[in-house]
Structure 1
């Protein structure tokens, strides 16, 4: 989703996809926000009735969340990624210039961790740690 898209366009896209929140990019492909269907419907419900008229007047940038967690694979440790994924279903991945590279989802992280746990013995020999206090 681009930040200059009409809110009506974003509404149509979010009602068709299975995601509850999506990243928003600017014209330079930098991650500048997040947008959810709830953010859009909140604008539709500001009067005594539901109206889509406001969706043609506003742009995505007018309602998007601008404070959000994002990561850079080079700079962000695995521990930080895990910490952030506790509260976020996904994290936008950006390069050093803030350009969007993709998404790291909680689901994919858990799947990767599950694979490591279940194949650990195939790749590593684990020996009991010697007791250094024996003497």
Structure 2
């Protein structure tokens, strides 16, 4: 089954742009209590996912960095330690189950690489629980 029905559309997803600063990302992630967030370029294409770990490693690597200085660091400059790949909008649910084990969401792109939304792990689990319940009902 196509996983598009599990999609949380871009209009309902919080994300950052790679041109933003580290401080802007920190503040947005803090405000929404996110541990990771999609990163887009100016054209709306998905370029990666920024995690709290990425930000912490950047802070650790710059011991002289003051919080005010995070306004000077572009997200483009921050290495990402996990390469979280996006999937196509027409991906099958079965093809993203393993991916969802290691991340809270799976970024989704269209045929041109434009970010269209995410599929959250909880939606996948809910879908699987629904299928399980339906199969139990059909056995009765």
**What TM-score do the two structures reach when normalised by structure 1?**
0.78
Structure 1 or 2: more helix by fraction:
2
Cα RMSD, aligned residues only: 2.3
Q: Which has the higher contact order (CA 8 A, sep 6+)?
A: 2
Residue segments in structure 1 that go unaligned for 5+ positions in a row: 128-135
Is the Cα contact below 8 Å between 2:106 and 2:118 reproduced in 1? yes
3-state secondary structure, aligned to 2:111:
coil
Q: Match for residue 127 of structure 2?
A: 112
Q: Say if 1:117 and 1:96 are closer, same or farther in 2 by CA, change over 3 A.
A: same
Residue segments in structure 2 that go unaligned for 5+ positions in a row: 1-15
Alignment of 1:72 onto 2:121? no
Is the Cα contact below 8 Å between 1:33 and 1:64 reproduced in 2? no
Is the Cα contact below 8 Å between 2:48 and 2:85 reproduced in 1? no
Alignment of 1:7-26 (within 5 A): 7-26=22-41
**Aligned residues between the structures:** 124
Q: Match for residue 6 of structure 2?
A: none
- Paired with 1:107 and 1:59, the residues of 2 have a C-alpha distance of 31
